[in-house]
């Protein structure tokens, strides 16, 4: 009996030896592909940005109004500042209300 890749194979059984050979060939090709892919190590900042992008992509799939929620959160951050003039705040409020028109109950339930 021969043992290759965790399988015990009789030397008289041609089907089993072909199976082992095909598995070995497949593993060799996968190993070569992994060697050909030269990846540079990511810095901490790059890893964090990549994970944030993946999280945003998942949220876009899961949440119906994700981009609208992001825009409204950005507008809210501008509106809540004390140093902004009243006219500017009023303009931002009307812009936010225009964007939310018809979607207020759905957006009110979300956590942004």
Q: What percent of the chain has pLDDT over 90?
A: 42
Is residue 52 domain-resident?
A: no
CA count, 13 A, side-chain hemisphere, 16: 13
Count: domains in the chain: 2
For residues 30 and 68, state if they share a domain. no
Shared domain for 32 and 70, answered yes or no, is: no
Which pLDDT does position 77 carry in this prediction? 95
Confidence of residue 101 (pLDDT cuts 50, 70, 90): very high
Do 74 and 30 fall within a single domain? no
| Together in a domain, 74 and 111 | yes
User: Tens digit of pLDDT for each residue in 3-29?
Assistant: 555 555 555 666 655 555 555 566 666
State the pLDDT confidence band at 96, using cuts at 50, 70 and 90. very high
Indicate whether 53 belongs to any domain: no
For residue 82, being part of any structural domain is answered with yes
Token pair, residue 55, equals 């999280």
Assigned domain for 104 exists: yes
Q: Are 103 and 65 in contact (CB under 8 A)?
A: yes
- Write down the pLDDT at residue 19: 56
Mean pLDDT of the chain: 79
d(CA 100, CA 96): 6
Contact between 99 and 71 under an 8 Å Cβ cutoff? The reply is: yes
Domain residue limits at 29: 2-36
32 in any annotated domain: yes
Asked if residue 48 belongs to a domain, the reply is: no
Q: Judge whether residue 78 has pLDDT over 80.
A: yes
Q: What's residue 40's pLDDT? A: 79
State the pLDDT at residue 93. 95
| CA angle at 11 for the pair 8 and 15, rounded to the nearest 5° | 80
């Amino acid at each position: 009996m021969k043992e290759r890749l965790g399988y015990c194979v009789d030397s008289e059984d041609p089907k089993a030896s072909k199976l082992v050979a095909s598995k070995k060939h497949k593993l060799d090709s996968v190993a070569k592909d992994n060697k050909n892919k030269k990846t540079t190590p990511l810095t901490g900042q790059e890893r964090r940005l990549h994970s944030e992008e993946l999280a945003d992509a998942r949220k876009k799939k899961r949440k119906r109004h994700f981009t609208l929620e992001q825009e409204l959160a950005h507008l809210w951050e501008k509106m809540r500042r004390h140093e902004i003039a009243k006219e500017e705040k009023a303009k931002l409020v009307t812009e936010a209300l225009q964007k939310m028109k018809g979607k207020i109950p759905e957006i009110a339930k979300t956590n942004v």
